[in-house]
C-alpha cells in the first residue's frame, strides 16, 4: 500500500466513491509534473467504496476580508472561514483555488479543508481600522461557511458574533441545515435589518443531488431550513445554481415554487460555470454518472458559451449568451413574476459601530 504525507496531494483517477463528488484528483495547473492514472489491477477500489478521509489543516492567513471589483456580484467584500469544501459539489467554481495551495481541485478540494481558527480576531482587527468603511459582507461566497467542519470548529459562529456585536450587515450563502444552529444570532440581526440568508437548491431529485452534491444537506432538508428561518423572521433568498442544461434546467419552475412556499422572497440563478480544471472534472463526472446524456449536456453548454465550455467575460459568465441562455433567463423571470419574488432584502449599513481597540482604551475624540 502506498503511503502519502499529509501535505502531499493525492493523484490518479478513482472509481466513483461514496460521499465524494469528483471522480479523480487531477494535478493542479501550477504543478511541474502532470500525472496520468494507470490501473494495473492491484489495490483497485471497488465502485461505491468510501472516498478519501477528510483532513483539516490550519490556515495561517493574516487577513479575513477579501475584496473584489466584479460587476457580476452584488457585493465588494467577502469572508470565507474555510478553503475547500467537504460538500463536494462537482461543479463548484471555487475548486481551481486549491491549485494555489499545491493541491488538486479534484478530491483534494473536498477532502483537504483549510480552516482559519483566528478568523473572528482577524475580522475584529480589520473592522477596527480607521480606514474601514462599512458595506454588506458576503459570508460563504466561495465555500460554504456551514460545511461539516463547522459543527466541530464553530468558526462561522464566532465570525457572526463579531458582526452582530458591531451591527455589521452580512449576506450568507449556504446549502447546509447547520444555519439553524445560529438562529439566536441571526434572529437578532434580522430585527436590525442586518442579515439575509441565501439557500442554494440545485435540484429536488435526491439521486442527482447525492451524485452532484454528496455531503450537502438533502434538497428537502434545505427547504425545511428555509421554513424554520422564515418562521424566525429572517429574510431569505433562493439561489438556483448552477443551471445545467439538460440535467436540472427543467426543474427551475418547480424549485422556485417550492422555495416561495417555504419562505424565500427573492431569487437568483447562475448558469453552469466551468473555468480551468472544472471543465475536465465535470466531464469525468458526466461520463461516469450520466454517460448517455454527457454529450448532449456539453453541446448545450457550448450553445451558451459561444462554442466553448466557459466564457470568463464579465456580464456573460454568470448568465451565458445565445438563444438557449436567453430562454433560461426568460423562464426564470416569468417564474419569479408568477410566484411574486421581489428584490433582495435591503440591509442597513448605518448601524455599524467599530469594535473597541484590543487595549480596551477608547479614543479621546
> What's the Cα-to-Cα distance from 142 to each of 28, 98, 254, 329, rounded to whole Å?
18, 12, 26, 24
The candidate with the shortest Cα–Cα distance to 137, out of 100, 114, 169, is: 169
Query: CA 136 to CA 157: how far, in whole Å?
Result: 17
At 4 the pLDDT is: 36
Q: Residue 39 has what pLDDT?
A: 56
* 181 Cβ neighbours under 8 A, 6+ residues apart: 157
pLDDT of residue 200: 97
* pLDDT confidence of residue 12: 40
Per the DSSP assignment, residues forming a β-bridge with 123 are: none
What's the DSSP call for residue 31? Answer: -
**One-letter-per-residue 3-state SS of 82-125:** EECCCCCCCCCCCHHHHHHHCCCCCHHHHHEEEECCCHHHHHHH
Distance CA 349, CA 167 (A): 8
CA atoms within 13 A on the CB side of 3: 1
pLDDT tens readout for residues 63-72: 999 999 988 8
pTM score: 0.89
- pLDDT averages per 10-residue partition of the chain, 365 residues: 38 64 84 63 57 92 93 93 96 93 94 96 96 96 95 98 98 98 98 98 96 96 98 98 96 98 98 94 95 96 94 90 96 98 96 81 55
Of the options 3.80.30.30, 3.40.190.10, 3.20.20.220, 3.90.1570.10, the CATH number for the domain spanning 56-339: 3.80.30.30
Domain boundaries, the chain: 56-339
Q: How far apart are the first and last CA of the chain?
A: 66
pLDDT at site 43:
53
Q: What is the mean pLDDT of the chain?
A: 90
Rounded alpha-carbon distances, angstroms, from residue 217 to 38, 199, 202, 214, 299: 34, 11, 11, 8, 30
Which of 149, 216, 208, 160 has the alpha carbon at shortest distance from 188? 160
Amino acid at each position: 500500500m502506498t503511503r502519502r504525507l499529509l501535505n502531499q496531494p493525492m493523484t490518479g483517477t478513482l472509481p466513483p466513491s461514496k460521499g465524494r463528488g469528483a471522480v479523480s484528483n487531477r494535478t493542479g495547473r501550477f504543478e511541474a509534473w502532470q500525472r496520468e492514472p494507470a490501473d494495473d489491477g492491484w489495490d483497485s477500489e471497488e465502485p461505491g467504496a468510501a472516498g478519501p478521509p477528510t483532513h483539516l489543516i490550519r490556515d495561517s492567513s493574516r487577513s479575513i476580508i477579501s475584496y473584489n471589483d466584479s460587476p457580476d456580484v452584488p457585493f465588494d467584500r467577502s469572508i470565507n472561514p474555510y478553503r475547500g469544501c467537504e460538500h463536494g459539489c462537482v461543479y463548484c467554481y471555487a475548486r481551481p483555488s486549491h491549485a494555489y495551495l499545491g493541491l488538486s481541485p479534484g478530491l483534494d478540494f473536498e477532502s483537504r479543508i483549510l480552516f482559519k481558527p483566528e478568523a473572528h480576531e482577524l475580522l475584529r482587527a480589520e473592522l477596527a481600522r480607521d480606514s474601514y468603511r462599512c458595506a454588506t459582507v458576503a459570508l460563504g461566497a466561495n465555500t460554504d461557511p456551514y460545511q461539516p467542519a463547522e459543527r466541530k470548529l464553530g468558526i462561522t459562529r464566532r465570525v457572526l458574533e463579531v458582526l452582530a456585536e458591531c451591527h455589521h450587515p452580512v449576506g450568507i450563502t449556504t446549502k447546509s441545515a447547520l444555519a439553524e444552529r445560529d438562529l439566536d444570532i441571526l434572529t437578532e440581526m434580522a430585527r436590525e435589518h442586518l442579515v439575509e440568508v441565501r439557500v442554494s437548491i440545485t435540484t429536488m431529485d435526491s439521486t442527482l443531488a447525492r451524485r452532484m452534491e454528496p455531503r450537502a444537506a438533502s434538497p428537502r432538508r434545505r427547504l425545511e431550513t428555509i421554513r424554520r428561518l422564515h418562521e424566525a423572521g429572517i429574510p431569505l433568498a433562493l439561489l438556483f445554481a448552477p443551471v445545467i442544461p439538460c440535467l436540472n434546467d427543467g426543474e427551475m419552475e418547480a424549485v422556485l415554487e417550492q422555495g416561495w412556499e417555504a419562505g424565500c422572497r427573492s431569487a437568483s440563478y447562475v448558469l453552469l460555470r466551468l473555468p480551468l480544471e472544472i471543465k475536465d472534472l465535470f466531464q469525468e463526472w458526466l461520463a461516469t454518472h450520466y454517460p448517455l446524456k454527457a454529450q448532449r449536456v456539453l453541446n448545450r453548454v457550448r450553445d451558451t458559451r459561444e462554442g466553448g465550455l466557459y466564457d470568463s467575460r464579465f456580464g456573460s459568465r454568470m448568465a451565458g449568451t445565445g438563444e438557449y441562455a436567453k430562454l433560461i433567463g426568460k423562464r426564470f423571470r416569468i417564474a419569479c413574476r408568477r410566484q411574486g419574488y421581489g428584490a433582495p432584502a435591503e440591509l442597513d449599513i448605518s448601524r455599524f459601530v467599530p469594535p473597541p481597540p484590543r487595549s480596551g482604551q477608547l479614543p479621546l475624540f
